[in-house]
């Protein structure tokens, strides 16, 4: 029993899980940058978000190659992803970087995150796993990239004119992919529900 507890403690403090904790800790850091004026705050928000995106790739990759996958990591990883994306989008909406019609892809992305979380919880109770598709991974990459451009905002426009337009186009593209991948999750959930009731 002591060995089991020791192994669990080691997995909880493994590098992949520490990277996930770091991604969760990045949420209040990004939110805080919105309460400071100037271009420096925008650059800081963008670089924190980029670092979080890199850890999103690294934690899963390292957990697999080092055989350090854990229930804690599997639970926290999607939570960390949703927290950082949702908080960044909400803060961008709060300062009117995202406004008007551009709120539509933001709402689509946030609704999909809630829908998928609910479906995964439901399917987990049935002991059914729905693996992330390659298209869903592309959606994540486009989404992260577009949010990075939007976080840079006016500061980014000085270095690369059109930064905000690139971010907005990416956000719409991510929302379109999101609709498709969200429908795939929903269809899988309905299929399993119907099978269970037969």
A 10 A CB-CB count for 108 gives 18
pTM of the predicted model, to two decimals?
0.83
Structurally, the chain folds into a number of domains equal to 1
- Distance, in Å, from the CA atom of 27 to the CA atom of 16, rounded to the nearest integer, reads 18
For 82-107, what is the mean pLDDT? 94
> What CATH number has the domain bearing residue 120?
1.20.120.1760
Query: What are the Cα distances from residue 40, in Å, to 93, 152, 166?
Result: 19, 9, 20
pLDDT of res. 49 = 96
- Distance, in Å, from the CA atom of 115 to the CA atom of 100, rounded to the nearest integer, reads 24
pLDDT of res. 11 = 58
**Pair of tokens at residue 15:** 């590098």
pLDDT of res. 109 = 92
Domain of 157, in residue numbers: 2-197
pLDDT of res. 113 = 83
pLDDT of res. 93 = 96
The average confidence (pLDDT) of the chain is 84
**Pair of tokens at residue 111:** 């609704």
Which residues have a Cβ under 8 Å from the Cβ of 14 and sit 6 or more positions away? 63, 66, 68, 70, 73
| Whether the Cβ atoms of residue 45 and residue 26 lie closer than 8 Å to each other | no
pLDDT of res. 34 = 96
pLDDT digits (tens, 9 = 90+) for 104-132: 999 999 998 888 777 777 666 666 666 56
For residue 29, pLDDT beyond 90: yes
């Amino acid at each position: 029993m002591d060995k089991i507890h020791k192994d669990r403690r080691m997995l909880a403090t493994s590098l992949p899980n520490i990277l996930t904790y770091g991604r969760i800790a990045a949420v209040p850091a990004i939110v805080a940058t919105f309460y400071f004026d100037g271009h420096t705050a925008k650059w800081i928000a963008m670089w924190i978000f980029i670092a979080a995106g890199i850890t999103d790739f690294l934690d899963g990759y390292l957990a697999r190659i080092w055989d350090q996958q854990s229930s804690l990591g599997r639970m926290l990883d999607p939570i960390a992803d949703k927290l950082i994306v949702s908080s960044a989008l909400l803060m961008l909406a709060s300062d009117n970087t995202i406004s008007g019609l551009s709120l539509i892809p933001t709402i689509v992305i946030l609704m999909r995150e809630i829908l998928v979380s609910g479906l995964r919880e439901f399917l987990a109770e049935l002991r059914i796993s729905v693996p992330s598709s390659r298209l869903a991974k592309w959606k994540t990459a486009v989404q992260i990239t577009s949010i990075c451009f939007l976080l840079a905002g006016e500061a980014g426009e000085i270095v690369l004119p059109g930064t905000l337009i690139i971010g907005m186009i990416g956000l719409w593209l991510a929302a379109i992919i999101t609709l498709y991948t969200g429908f795939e999750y929903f269809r899988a959930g309905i299929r399993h529900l119907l099978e269970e009731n037969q």
